A and B are shown apart, each in its own frame.
Chain A
């Protein structure tokens, strides 16, 4: 169990000072956990030794946090924060350079009537659109995130997945959103999943020694049980994920508040054990300001202040942005505008 591990590793970790998952020191912290990832058996015993999750209790907690009432100044703060955390996404077969450039323009200036409006965190595209997005975003500071590893199914041979990743990084991707092999996870081949994440992480390296940040997508809608979600969260963090992400947005069930809360708890426990800070990204199905605020409340009351930045929490979304903008306009003008007062992507 997590705290027991914290205690057991106390001499190694000695007062875990927080280090970012993407930083150089993180590797040393993960090495201190090397015995649990030494072989298939050890990894399995560790993951199955994590405390179980009571579904009713988890869902009740998420629902209670959902009743927090965020008004006035708190609402204004939260809306701008949510805006700045968006990975504005287009992942369609019909994507074209024109569509991607339009999305980038929107990401830079979400509200054309208010240049004070914060820009989004990243533009999320398929690997072949990375170069286009990179160029369109110029020096805006907005990251380009690229899905990779045979997104969304992840059903391809490892060399193909790694090539997919390297391509995206070479084209300039700042962040890679990989999908795990759910088939391997569900059939209990945890070490395969672990090794694959590690390999993709290595493929994120750039020639200059830096690396694209790695987000690991679980597709929690396919993993189904909360116990699985807790296990896969630890597995990915042990393998070196910089972010853990719920969903591709391509299956029936995407991000939900209970699943996200559980992942936040896993990140909290991993941090308490190793001192390594990992980010969380719920994706898919978050469309309204009301929903986004519920997620921010969960972050606030589970992980707190250090995670309330785009460096450590993201929304994978597209239509959420316009709802945030309409609510933002309402706060400043006192009236609701309408869909014609925000831009179509």
Chain B
């Protein structure tokens, strides 16, 4: 007899999804101006979860006006008062974390182990962290009495729906801005549940507005003249379009875009932990992470040993039902994303890289992609240059630290990087040479609200998180009475 883990599904009963949702504008749920709706499905089963409103330009206008109206009082509140609301939201997120984790896994396809142990704790931590800043802005390094910008238009991706919402909303509210946020088309539900949390917390009407919709809604929001600040997390392609839209306006912009991070393993690395870090770097959230360690750079002298260990470890990954507590890898978020991953993996094979996956049975319904390893990859391969945004790891080798730096930096992106070595001096030398906004050493995909996050080059600009994250929502300091 073998030790087979029996199914251990988290209960769906803890979350009550309504058959339809409206837009959250000025503290109320309202239907879209033109009555349009769209469906959101569970990517692990293709089951329709709910129907949500498709916001049009009129709805954007209505929401921005509500946020503008709310801004006057909200920004005038003492920081300590704004903090109370944020602390309240953080506690409500904690209290409802099981419900929200199940919801997130249903709508996004990510394993419950991650939504429960990573996403939700980080969401709460982010609100707690920025709640603490709200009454200390004078001491944040942006001059005396820094002022909020006004209305923030925020567009977030589908990979960490609620966490990205927290990254956007928490600093915006702490600094006295009001927001209009558009969640991704495929994952609108947790933002709508968050709207309910805002009501529960007694947040004044219009401070947070949630508009569901597709790319056209996001484009309308970004282009709206009443928006003072645009914050976007998503693809580099859309990020560029946003930059073009706001060019010439006085809107302040932060963009957090794609990446093609190098995870660099030296021959003196703690190998068992490096293997865990590689797995966590590329298979966390099915690899649908902008800072995923999608390029493994391994020192040639240890490559064979490391790859053997990595393959052995990959054989133990459990792919399947996101709600099962023992699932390591869940579903790909959408058919569209699956097609993109599939196409790039095929390109890798066509270009001559060697493809390997552990044998694993994928469910018949839903969108699935087996964890995949490409060896024999060079800088010239598409799978070494383009962001795949899926559970696909490209393995390259290097001989010397200088070569590792050269290869790691040879990318249009620059969001994150990983260094694995037991030698502290080399670790610090590498960190200074690498052009990436976040560098992890002997770990990967570690997040903390106190740590700034953001990229270089085509990975975007601006920082989220930490004291640095406040800057994106504050006007330059001015002498007392100048405004």
B3 touches A57 (CB 8 A): no
Residue A78 CB within 8 A of the other chain: yes
A57-B6 in contact given A51-B269, A67-B117 (Cβ < 8 Å):
no
Contact check, A53 vs B273: say whether CB atoms are below 8 A apart: yes
Number of chain B residues close to chain A: CB under 8 A: 29
Contact status B8-A54, CB under 8 Å: no
CB distance from A70 to the nearest CB of B (A): 6
A115 adjacent to chain B (CB < 8 Å): no
Q: What is the chain B residue whose CB lies nearest that of A5? A: B305
Centre residue among B117, B270, B422 by max chain A CB count within 10 A? B270
A77 nearest CB across to chain B (Å):
6
Query: Given A51-B272, A58-B273, are A308 and B3 also a contact pair (CB < 8 Å)?
Result: yes
What are the residues of chain A within 8 A of B326 when measuring CB–CB?
68-69
- Nearest chain B residue, comparing its CB with the CB of A265: B272
Tell whether A288 is near chain B: CB-to-CB under 8 Å.
Answer: no
Contact: A69 with B308, CB < 8 Å? no
Q: Which of A52-83 contact B (CB under 8 A)?
A: 52-54, 56-58, 60-61, 67-75, 77-78, 81
Please pick, from A54, A69, A73, the residue contacting B273 in the complex, using a CB distance under 8 A.
A54
Q: Are B5 and A70 touching (Cβ within 8 A)?
A: yes
* Complex alpha-carbon distance, A1 and B7, angstroms: 38
Enumerate chain A residues within 8 angstroms of B113, measured Cβ to Cβ. 67
Main SS at interface, chain A: helix
- A330 CB, min distance to chain B CBs, angstroms: 16
A161 and B273 alpha carbons, distance in the complex (Å): 38
Chain A residue at smallest Cβ distance from B308: A3
| Shortest Cβ distance from residue A304 to the other chain B in the assembled complex, whole angstroms | 9
Tell me if A337 counts as interface (CB < 8 A to partner B): no
| Distance of A51 Cα from B271 Cα, bound (Å) | 6
Q: In this assembly, does A4 line the interface, its C-beta being within 8 Å of a C-beta of chain B?
A: yes
Asked if B97 is an interface residue, CB under 8 A from chain A, the answer is no
Asked if B302 is at the interface of the complex by the 8 Å CB criterion, the answer is: yes
Mask for A77-92, Cβ within 8 A of B = 1, else 0? 1100100000000000
Residues on the A chain within 8 Å of B1, using CB = 77
Query: Is B268 positioned at the interface, with any CB of A under 8 Å from its CB?
Result: yes
Q: Are A57 and B442 in contact (CB under 8 A)?
A: yes
Q: Say yes or no: is A296 at the interface (Cβ < 8 Å to chain B).
A: yes
Does B359 have its Cβ within 8 Å of any Cβ on chain A? no
B270 and A57 contacting across the interface, CB-CB below 8 Å? yes
Is the Cβ of A74 less than 8 Å from the Cβ of B5?
yes
Nearest opposing residue in chain B for A3, CB measure: B305
Flag whether B304 is at the interface (Cβ < 8 A): yes
Q: Check: B276 CB closer than 8 A to any chain A CB.
A: yes
Interface membership of B249, Cβ < 8 A: no
CB-CB under 8 A for A51 and B270, given A57-B442, A72-B6, A74-B3: yes
Which residues of chain B from 252 to 304 have a CB within 8 Å of any chain A CB? 268-273, 276-277, 302, 304
A301 contacts partner chain B, Cβ-Cβ < 8 Å: yes
CB contacts under 8 Å to B, within A215-274, are 265
Q: Chain A: how many interface residues by the 8 Å CB criterion?
A: 32
Interface on chain B toward A: helix, strand, loop, or mixed SS? loop
Q: Is A32 an interface residue (CB 8 A)?
A: no
Neighbour of A69 across the interface among B3, B8, B117, B272, CB < 8 A? B8
Does A340 sit at the interface, judged by CB under 8 A? no
Q: Is B364 interfacial (CB-CB < 8 Å)? A: no
Q: Is B425 an interface residue (CB 8 A)?
A: no
Which residue in A1, A4, A73, A81 is a CB contact (below 8 Å) of B6? A73
Q: Give the CA-CA distance A57 to B277 in the complex, in Å.
A: 8
In the complex, residue of chain A having the shortest beta-carbon distance to the beta carbon of B270: A54
With a CB–CB cut-off of 8 A, which chain B residues contact A305? 2-3
Interface residue A300 (Cβ < 8 Å from any Cβ of B): yes
Q: A21-62 toward B: CB 8 Å interface, digit per residue (1/0)?
A: 000000000000000000000000000000111101110110
| B33 at the A interface (CB under 8 A) | no
In whole angstroms, what is the CA distance A237 to B273 when docked? Answer: 22
Q: Determine the chain B residues whose CB is within 8 A of the CB of A67 once the complex forms.
A: 113, 117, 325
What B residues does A57 contact at CB under 8 A? 270, 272-273, 276-277, 442-443
In the bound complex, do residue B422 and residue A52 qualify as a contact, i.e. CB atoms below 8 Å apart?
A: yes
- Contact assessment for B442 and A69 in the assembled complex, using a CB-CB cutoff below 8 Å: no
A52 touches B270 (CB 8 A): yes
Which residues on A sit within 8 Å (CB–CB) of B7?
71
B contact residues around A60 at 8 Å (CB): 276
Which residue of the partner chain, among A58, A71, A74, A78, contacts B272 with CB atoms under 8 Å? Answer: A58
Distance of B47 from chain A, by nearest CB (Å):
23
Residues in chain A near residue B422, CB distance under 8 A: 52, 54
Q: In the complex, A69→B326 CA distance in Å?
A: 6
> Which residue from chain A places its CB closest to the CB of B269 in the assembled complex?
A51
Q: Which residues of B contact A7 (CB under 8 A)?
A: 304
Chain B positions within 8 Å of A296 at CB level: 3
User: Does B4 count as interface, using CB distance less than 8 angstroms?
Assistant: yes
| A4 with B4: CB separation less than 8 A | no
Instruction: Tell me, rounded to whole Å, the shortest Cβ–Cβ distance linking A3 to chain B.
Output: 4
The complex places the Cα of A69 from the Cα of B6 at a distance, in Å, of: 9
A54 and B6 contacting across the interface, CB-CB below 8 Å = no
Across the interface, which residues of A come within 8 angstroms of B269, CB to CB?
Answer: 51-52
CB distance from B370 to the nearest CB of A (A): 19
CA A272 – CA B3 in complex, angstroms? 22
A23 shortest CB reach to chain B, Å: 24
CB distance from B214 to the nearest CB of A (A): 36
Are A300 and B6 CB-contacts (below 8 A) given A56-B442, A61-B273? no
Residues in A with CB closer than 8 Å to B270 are: 51-54, 57
Closest to A81 in B: B3
In the complex, what's the smallest C-beta–C-beta distance from B358 to chain A, in angstroms?
Answer: 13
Per the bound structure, the CA–CA distance linking A300 and B318 in Å amounts to 13
Are B325 and A69 in contact, CB atoms less than 8 angstroms apart? yes
Chain B residues with CB under 8 Å of A78's CB are 3
Chain A residues lying within 8 Å of B4, measured Cβ to Cβ, are 73-74
Give the CA-CA distance A34 to B304 in the complex, in Å: 25
Are the C-beta atoms of B442 and A54 separated by less than 8 Å? yes
Q: Which of A3, A7, A73 has the most CB of B within 10 A?
A: A3
Q: Which residues of A contact B308 (CB under 8 A)?
A: 3
Convert B207-225 into 0s and 1s, putting 1 for each residue whose CB lies closer than 8 angstroms to a CB of A.
Answer: 0000000000000000000
Q: Identify 27 residue pairs between A and B in the complex whose beta-carbon atoms are under 8 Å apart, listed by A's number.
A: A1-B271, A1-B302, A2-B305, A3-B304, A3-B309, A7-B304, A51-B268, A51-B270, A52-B270, A53-B273, A54-B270, A54-B273, A54-B442, A57-B442, A58-B272, A58-B273, A67-B117, A68-B5, A69-B5, A69-B325, A70-B5, A71-B5, A75-B6, A77-B1, A296-B3, A305-B2, A308-B2
Question: B residues within 8 Å of A by Cβ?
Answer: 1-8, 113, 117, 268-273, 276-277, 302, 304-305, 308-309, 316, 325-326, 422, 442-443
Q: A54-B273, A68-B325, A68-B326 are in contact. List 20 more A-B contacts (CB 8 A).
A: A3-B304, A7-B304, A51-B272, A52-B268, A52-B269, A52-B270, A53-B270, A53-B273, A54-B422, A56-B443, A57-B270, A57-B443, A61-B273, A67-B113, A67-B325, A71-B6, A71-B7, A265-B272, A308-B2, A308-B3
The 6 tightest CB contacts between A and B, nearest first, are A57-B273, A69-B8, A3-B305, A69-B325, A54-B270, A54-B273
